[in-house]
Structure 1
């Protein structure tokens, strides 16, 4: 049975209740994420492979980013925060004018609206990271923006 979700406006403020309503989503797991394949448009734009994790979160997204040997992504920025957890490899992320070196096991914070890009330092091995972002939350609020150097500027 499908129920239509109510869209609230300013006149509905009195309907904000102290107890959340539990809703079980249809999907709780996305198995074998990388076998589903790279996200073609996003990977082409960013110039490196990106695998989207398809789960029903309305607040947090998660992707797996790959960097080929010697690869550097385009500079980009967005209104959402990013947490990276490096699974494989060694490289760095430029955040504005600061270089943050990383290797497998490290986590990196990228503040909102900062220009940044990622670089794999190895000439022979790929690097891989998990990126978590609050993009869906801001998209649902209508305030998510992303700029890509070479596409938007």
Structure 2
């Protein structure tokens, strides 16, 4: 195995591996490129319980960006929480609001919402009959791989 192949096979580097930093990026094919029927795979039990709303993880091998599908049941509101990673929400269905550091940002299907790093926030579905659904994209894996990702749930971690 060449040095390049050895470097690519490693999952983490330490200071002794500095000589394995190369001038040209190299394509490394991940083990898979598709996650079919994301919602049919089921809710992520632990995360859905913590957030008090259904969350479906998109299982793809990105080391920098994550994607989840979040659902809010009729009239549901999530716990307040914050994290060191940024979030961009794209609303697929419904109407509601996201409170970010005390400011309510109202949204509906087709809108996108930005949640800055370490901002206290929570989400509310305004309908008492229909669910709301959104896609959340975050840079959590990147910060997790650097060892600097933090998440705090109000009332649980304080």
Query: So what's the TM-score if we normalise by structure 2?
Result: 0.91
Aligned-partner Cα distance in 2 for 1:64–1:6: 27
Is residue 123 of structure 2 the alignment partner of residue 92 of structure 1? no
Q: Give 1:26's aligned residue.
A: 31
Aligned-partner Cα distance in 2 for 1:83–1:21: 29
Q: How many residues align?
A: 152
SS in structure 2 opposite 1:124?
Answer: coil
- TM alignment of 1:1-153, pairs within 5 A: 4-5=9-10, 7-153=12-158
Aligned-partner Cα distance in 2 for 1:69–1:53: 23
How large is the Cα RMSD of the aligned pairs? 1.6
Gaps of 5+ in 2: none
Aligned-residue offset at 1:149: 1.1
Query: So what's the TM-score if we normalise by structure 1?
Result: 0.94
